[in-house]
Amino acid sequence: MQLIKYLPLASDRMGALWALASVKDACIIEYGPAGTTHYGIEGFMQLNAELMSRLFTTHMDETDIVMGDSTRLEKTILEVDQVYKPPVIFVVASSISSLIGTDLETICEALQPDVNAKLIALTGGGFRGDYALGIREVLTLLAKHVVKPPTKKHQNSYNIIGSNIDCYNFFSDLKELKTLMHECFGYELNAVFTANSSIEEIENAANAGINLVLRSEGVEAAEFLKEKYGIPYYSGLPYGYHGTQKWASGLAEVLSLELNEILKRTWMTAANKHGMALRRTLFNYGKLSCVLSGNFDQVYAMYVFLTEELGLDVKAVIVNHHKPSYMSDLSVELEEKLMFNPTEAEKEALVCEGRPDVVFGDGVLLHIGGEVPIKIQVANPNLDSIQIFDGTPYMGPRGATFIIEKLLAGIYANRQFLKERVR
């Protein structure tokens, strides 16, 4: 058993709660002790996100556990339905109810005729995998059981699948994506699975013309929506200037549209201007080495930006969860640098013994790398950062400029150290 000083890898139960927490008009009932639900709510405070759904717990005592009595859960479902009248109630297993084998699906099926809300059971309880699995399960369940048949198609609209509150910069990146889609194609946002969304918006997701998938966990949901409602989907993340152009060009091909040439030239002008400023600065300090961490799809796209556009030497790429079942084709170079859910000791070896110049990482990695001169947070878990402004994206051309700005600020703040390192 490894010693954990900071935070253990979040379970599928936590991933499910994160994915549902920001959905307005949803009610979540966790069948378990009040303490576990309280711990879950505390976790939301570190995600810089607002709890928009209503979260309840049934609590459990020894009789419920020993006798397998689910009366308390059934009464809670009936009460929540009667008092709050939600369109959907998600019934989530805690570790204890999952361990004793409570059949939430059968309970929900038996109670469904007696309630107005649609009952959806999530039975993982924290034993089937990490948070990425829980997020994938929620996205798929929403697609299968909440999305309704289309009523009025809006071909010039889109859904975003996979923007969730566990993504560190989701608030600003959502705004950037909306700006990009409007600038590039004149498309407007229809629904988000699930950050800052609502049950009504997700119910009407089939009215959109295309789904944008931002993480591997959303592919299953997008495949289902394509098969059932004929909605095409496009996967990828627009990091960097060239990365954004490649992303937008690929999307334009799917949409059978032309990408605005003036817009492309604007992005390349920004790439040359800000990229040159960074290269002039790095001329005095040499090539910067760095370590990168985050969820798989984020680090995959960000790695290309850091190495190919900014010319950084990325020594290692940490994925803060287990290896996903769905992965893009990887270069041999990137595959050799990937580390899935490494131990804290392995992380310490990377940033303390490896002595990189920059850490693009989560809050824990930034704490471990206390002596690293330049630290830029790009992922959760979050320990210290507060985000309330939506104008600091990492995605898109504006995000590329913002990352370069933070990098330049870090270089100037540590220029004496970096000069001595070169000597």
pLDDT at 23: 96
Q: Tell me if 205 sits within 8 A of 191, measured CB to CB.
A: yes
- Please compute the mean of the pLDDT values over residues 134-157 and round it to a whole number: 96
pLDDT at 418: 87
pTM metric for this prediction: 0.94
pLDDT at 101: 64
pLDDT at 319: 96
- Please compute the mean of the pLDDT values over residues 400-416 and round it to a whole number: 95
Instruction: Strands of 195-332 (E only): list them.
Output: 197-198, 208-213, 233-235, 289-294, 313-319
- Please compute the mean of the pLDDT values over residues 293-301 and round it to a whole number: 96
Structure tokens at 98: 């999952």
In order, the DSSP letters of 317-347 are EEESSPPPSS-----HHHHHHEEES--HHHH
Going by pLDDT thresholds of 50, 70 and 90, the confidence category of residue 48 is confident
pLDDT at 42: 61
Tell me the sheet residues that pair with 69: none
In order, the DSSP letters of 394-423 are SSHHHHHHHHHHHHHHHHHHTHHHHHHHH-
DSSP state, residue 240: S
pLDDT at 183: 96
Higher pLDDT, 332 or 63: 332
pLDDT at 417: 86
* Residue whose entry in the numeric block shows the structure tokens 């805690």: 94
What is the per-residue pLDDT across 333-371, written as a single tens digit (0 to 9) for each? Answer: 888 999 999 999 999 999 988 899 999 999 999 999 988
Q: Tell me if 92 sits within 8 A of 36, measured CB to CB.
A: no
pLDDT at 333: 87
- Please compute the mean of the pLDDT values over residues 20-41 and round it to a whole number: 80
- Please compute the mean of the pLDDT values over residues 82-93 and round it to a whole number: 96
- Please compute the mean of the pLDDT values over residues 271-279 and round it to a whole number: 92
Residue 45 has pLDDT above 80, yes or no: no
Residue (of 385, 391, 400, 378) closest to 274 by Cα position: 400
- Please compute the mean of the pLDDT values over residues 401-407 and round it to a whole number: 97
Apex 55 CA angle, 341 and 386, nearest 5: 55
CATH numbers and ranges of domains, the chain: 12-145 (3.40.50.1980), 154-255 (3.40.50.1980), 261-422 (3.40.50.1980)
The SS3 assignment for 192 reads: strand
